[in-house]
Amino acid sequence: MGKLARDLIGVAVTGSGKTAAFLLPLLVYISELPPLNEYTKNDGPYAIILAPTRELAQQIETEAKKFATPLGFTCVSIVGGHSLEEQSYNLRNGAEIIIATPGRLVDCIERRVLVLGQCCYVIMDEADRMIDLGFEESVNKILDALPVGNEKPDTDDAEDAQAMSRHLGGKDRYRQTMMYTATMPSAVEKIAKKYLRRPAIVTIGNIGEAVETVEQRVEFVSGEDKRKKRLNEILASGEFQPPIIVFVNIKRNCDAVARDIKHMGFTAVTLHGSKTQEQREAALASDW
């Protein structure tokens, strides 16, 4: 659908491979546009990818660079936890693709760190999570900051691949907008109706279910000592290969469980809201 120049709503569960599904058509689209130069690099990116969290944005950036760098395209992430000066420096030579969290991207737009004057491709990943995290207003601000001259008509032409693939004059093409979500709450529907034009709707998997590659088991273990013993048994069994993630209910328990795991003879790092971005990235990069 991406290569047919259609707007798209992809309803897909996590782990269904949608990252590559939206990156590859995006790169084909950008390859048909003129390379950025000293004059056009200051007009902003050709494409933006919005993600609800900085971790997801950085994950998408890592995957995007695998495909984009060999083609000569630059990808830059704009997320919280890094100074605006640092991110402005990363944009000094321009970037075809920006991957961002909504709040930080709005901050950059309002502070004139970047503009979206030539943005013609928008991807919203995990749109429902963005709404859950309170980014509805930020998403609307970003989409309203896009140029209006490349909007698709709200007519049957929006479903015509040949018509939508035409250049509007010079390098400009009709804007293509893609939204990926696991659910469709009313706020997501409202954004889709306002900014997408005659979108194709593709559903992958059954909503609310894990992908087939995930096996789920549930054990009820009462009492802290019994839970600790069971955790030790699971880790020592060798049935599950690292890295292994242990989720807890509160931050205080996160550090306590990490200490217990270390006493069991395993390596453990912690991730929670009291950690700085640098500490989180260092933890993820460590040998665990």
As a whole number, mean pLDDT of residues 245-261 equals 90
Give me the helix-helix angle, 224-237 and 251-263, nearest 10°: 50
Q: What percent of the chain has pLDDT over 70?
A: 91
Q: Name residue, tokens 């279910």.
A: 209
Question: Mean of the per-residue pLDDT values for the chain?
Answer: 87
Q: What is the CATH number of the domain that holds 100?
A: 3.40.50.300
Give the model's pLDDT for residue 6.
86
Asked if residue 198 belongs to a domain, the reply is yes
How many domains does the chain contain in total?
A: 2
Q: Does 140 share its domain with 183? A: yes
Asked if residue 216 belongs to a domain, the reply is no
Q: Does 44 share its domain with 162? A: yes
As a whole number, mean pLDDT of residues 204-214 equals 66
As a whole number, mean pLDDT of residues 122-139 equals 95
Give the model's pLDDT for residue 15.
63
Domain, as residue range, for 254? 224-285
Q: Alpha-carbon Rg of the chain, whole angstroms?
A: 22
Q: Does 32 share its domain with 154? A: yes
Comparison of pLDDT for 148 and 40, the residue scoring more: 40
Task: Give this prediction's pTM.
Answer: 0.77
Among 73, 27, 33, CA closest to 171: 33
Give the model's pLDDT for residue 210.
60
Give the model's pLDDT for residue 208.
58
User: What is the pLDDT confidence band of residue 171, given thresholds at 50, 70 and 90?
Assistant: low
Asked if residue 209 belongs to a domain, the reply is no
Q: Does 129 share its domain with 249? A: no
**Amino acid of residue 253:** N
Asked if residue 213 belongs to a domain, the reply is no
Q: Does 80 share its domain with 11? A: yes
Asked if residue 219 belongs to a domain, the reply is no
User: What is the pLDDT confidence band of residue 61, given thresholds at 50, 70 and 90?
Assistant: very high
Among 123, 155, 109, CA closest to 52: 123
Asked if residue 214 belongs to a domain, the reply is no
Q: Does 94 share its domain with 159? A: yes
Contact (CB, 8 A) for 248 and 273:
no
As a whole number, mean pLDDT of residues 44-55 equals 95
DSSP string, the chain: -GGGT--EEEEE-TTSSHHHHHHHHHHHHHHTSPPP-TTTGGG--SEEEE-SSHHHHHHHHHHHHHHHGGGT--EEEE-TTS-HHHHHHHTTT--SEEEE-HHHHHHHHHTTS---TT--EEEESSHHHHHHTT-HHHHHHHHHTS-STTPPPSSGGGG-HHHHTSEEETTEE--EEEEEES---HHHHHHHHHH-SS-EEEEES-TTS--TT---------SHHHHHHHHHHHHHH--SPSP-----SSHHHHHHHHHHHHHTT-------TTS-HHHHHHHHHS--
Give the model's pLDDT for residue 224.
87
The rounded distance, in Å, linking the Cα atoms of 186 and 208 is 17
Q: Does 22 share its domain with 151? A: yes
Q: Does 85 share its domain with 129? A: yes
Asked if residue 48 belongs to a domain, the reply is yes
Give the model's pLDDT for residue 169.
47
Predicted confidence (pLDDT) at residue 247 exceeds the cutoff of 80 = yes
Q: Does 68 share its domain with 144? A: yes
286-270-19 Cα angle (round to 5): 70
User: What is the pLDDT confidence band of residue 90, given thresholds at 50, 70 and 90?
Assistant: confident
Predicted confidence (pLDDT) at residue 3 exceeds the cutoff of 70 = no
As a whole number, mean pLDDT of residues 57-73 equals 95
Q: Does 64 share its domain with 18? A: yes
